[in-house]
Structure 1
Amino acid sequence: MNWKTKATAIGLALLATTSLARADGVLNIYNWGNYTSPDAIKKFEAKYNVKVTITDYDSNDTALAKVRQGGTGFDIVVPSQNYMPIWIKEGLFLETDPGKMENFKNVAPEWANPDFDPGRKYSVPWAWGTVGVVVNTDVYKGDINTWGIVFNTPDELKGKVNVVPEMNDVMFAAIKYVGGQQCTGDKEVLKKVRDLLVAAKPNWISMEYNTIEKMGAGDFKATSDWNGSALRQRLANPAIHYGYAKEGFAYWSDNVVVLKEAKNVENAKLFQNFIMDPEVAAELSAFHRYANGISGSDKYMPADMKDAPEVIIPADAKPHGELGVMCPSDVQEIYTKIWTELQK
Structure 2
Amino acid sequence: MKKLLTTTAAATALLMGATGAQAEGKLAIYHWFEYIPQDLLDKFSKEHDVEVIMDTYDSNEAMLATLKAGAIGTYDVAVPTDYMVSILIGEGLADEIASGELSNIGNVKAAFTDPAYDPGLKHSIPYQGGTTSFSVDTAEYTGDIDSTDIIFNPPEELHGKINVLDSQGEVLALAAVHMGIPQCSTDRDQLKALNDMLQAAKPHWASFNSDTAKEVLAAGDVVAGMIFNGYAAKARETRETLKYAYPKQGWVNWMDSVVLLKDAPNRENALKFMDFLLEPENIAQVTNFARYTDVVEGTAEFIDPELASMHESNPPAGIEGVFVEACDAETQAVYDKIWTNLKK
Same fold (TM over 0.5): yes
1:40-82 CA distances to partner (integer Å, 9 max, x unpaired)? 1121112111111110111112111211233552111111111
Q: How much does 1:100 deviate?
A: 5.2
Partner of 1:162: 163
Secondary structure of the structure 2 residue equivalent to 1:43: helix
Q: Unaligned stretches of 5+ in structure 1?
A: 1-23
The 1:98/1:26 distance shift into structure 2, 3 A limit, reads farther
Q: How much does 1:312 deviate?
A: 2.6
Partner of 1:55: 55
Runs of 4+ residues over 4 Å off in structure 1: none
Secondary structure of the structure 2 residue equivalent to 1:128: strand
1:199-251 CA distances to partner (integer Å, 9 max, x unpaired)? 11111101111111111111121111211111111122111111112112221
Partner of 2:303: 301
Partner of 1:135: 136
Matching residue's letter, 1:183: C
Matching residue's letter, 1:285: T
Moved more, 146-155 or 291-300: 291-300
Q: How much does 1:108 deviate?
A: 1.3
Q: Does 1:289 align with 2:291?
A: yes
Matching residue's letter, 1:101: L
Secondary structure of the structure 2 residue equivalent to 1:261: coil
Output the aligned Cα RMSD: 1.6
Moved more, 266-275 or 140-149: 140-149
The 1:44/1:74 distance shift into structure 2, 3 A limit, reads same
Tell whether the 8 Å contact from 2:152 to 2:198 is kept in structure 1 after alignment. yes
Once residues 266 and 115 of structure 1 are traced to their aligned partners in structure 2, the CA distance between those partners, rounded to angstroms, is: 26
Once residues 129 and 331 of structure 1 are traced to their aligned partners in structure 2, the CA distance between those partners, rounded to angstroms, is: 27
Once residues 100 and 172 of structure 1 are traced to their aligned partners in structure 2, the CA distance between those partners, rounded to angstroms, is: 35
Once residues 312 and 104 of structure 1 are traced to their aligned partners in structure 2, the CA distance between those partners, rounded to angstroms, is: 27
Q: How much does 1:295 deviate?
A: 2.2
Q: Unaligned stretches of 5+ in structure 2?
A: 1-23
Q: How much does 1:99 deviate?
A: 6.6
Matching residue's letter, 2:88: W
Tell whether the 8 Å contact from 2:85 to 2:259 is kept in structure 1 after alignment. no
Matching residue's letter, 1:287: F
1:158-203 CA distances to partner (integer Å, 9 max, x unpaired)? 1110100211211111122122122222222222211111111111
Length-normalised TM-score, structure 1: 0.89
The 1:177/1:98 distance shift into structure 2, 3 A limit, reads farther
Tell whether the 8 Å contact from 1:133 to 1:145 is kept in structure 2 after alignment. no
Length-normalised TM-score, structure 2: 0.89
Q: How many residues align?
A: 319
Matching residue's letter, 1:154: P
Once residues 241 and 38 of structure 1 are traced to their aligned partners in structure 2, the CA distance between those partners, rounded to angstroms, is: 28
TM alignment of 1:218-233, pairs within 5 A: 218-233=220-235
Tell whether the 8 Å contact from 2:77 to 2:259 is kept in structure 1 after alignment. yes
Secondary structure of the structure 2 residue equivalent to 1:337: helix
Which has the larger Rg? 1
Secondary structure of the structure 2 residue equivalent to 1:82: helix
Secondary structure of the structure 2 residue equivalent to 1:327: coil
Partner of 2:276: 274
Once residues 87 and 222 of structure 1 are traced to their aligned partners in structure 2, the CA distance between those partners, rounded to angstroms, is: 32
Matching residue's letter, 1:118: P
